[in-house]
Amino acid sequence: MSVVTGLNHDFSQGVVLHTADLPWLASPMAGVERRMLDRIGGEVARATSIVRYAPGSRFSRHVHGGGEEYLVLEGVFSDEHGHNPPGTYVRNPPGSGHAPYSEKGCTIVVKLWQFAATDTQPVRIDTRAADWRPGLVEGLSVLSLHEHDGVSTALVRWVPHMRFHPHRHPGGEEILVLEGSLHDEEGDYPALTWLRNPRGSVHTPWAGPEGALIYVKVGHIGARWMELP
């Protein structure tokens, strides 16, 4: 098994990946595979990945020295702290540990080594039962997942054909399209497209005819903790 040590690690550049087209790469544990989106480092890395657990697979107990953030996309992701069904959002702060597994298989999107030093509170949200609020404009609904030191993470739902005004992201933006499709003047982004827009980027996004659901983080691109662990 070869280890990717650098991938999309220039955060001054925008990235668009149609993740369904990416290969599944083996992890150190049998039955656990990943699609790498960005990465700095070897097996211990500052990384963003989509990870798939085969039914009955597990990962040995380990400590997340730089913290772990994930959203369950499919199936049930489990550890000694409980079972996390689809739509569960979890933050395990630096120094936390667990032994994850999946009885029937699952897929998660996970970010490692991406916590500010002062961000120490664990988070677990069942997004299927949480309360959404109206967005900045009519046609948007927002479920805030986490905010700390200028960095915000949320789920955002767009009604069909809803168009947002032109805007700038001073601290960058990262999006995974979960349902429907998103579009802007640069391209079309169907479900499971991952985008990373650099600091200061500007765009005018809109939703496709089926609407869109996105998982989005803003304010973190270029932060000191985005560098090597």
Residue indicated by tokens 């996390």? 84
Looking at the structure, do residues 61 and 113 belong to the same domain, yes or no?
yes
Query: Could you give the number of structural domains in the chain?
Result: 2
Residue whose C-alpha is closest to residue 179's, from 197, 151, 160: 160
Which tops the pLDDT comparison, 226 or 166?
166
Tell me, what's the pLDDT at 31?
Answer: 97
Output the average pLDDT for the chain: 94
Q: 127 near 89, Cβ under 8 Å?
A: yes
Does 155 reside within a domain?
Answer: yes
Looking at the structure, do residues 26 and 117 belong to the same domain, yes or no?
yes
Tell me, what's the pLDDT at 155?
Answer: 98
Q: How far apart are CA 166 and CA 29, in angstroms?
A: 44
Looking at the structure, do residues 73 and 155 belong to the same domain, yes or no?
no
Tell me, what's the pLDDT at 227?
Answer: 60
Banded pLDDT at 198 (limits 50, 70, 90): very high
Q: 8 near 196, Cβ under 8 Å?
A: yes
- C-alpha gyration radius of the chain: 17
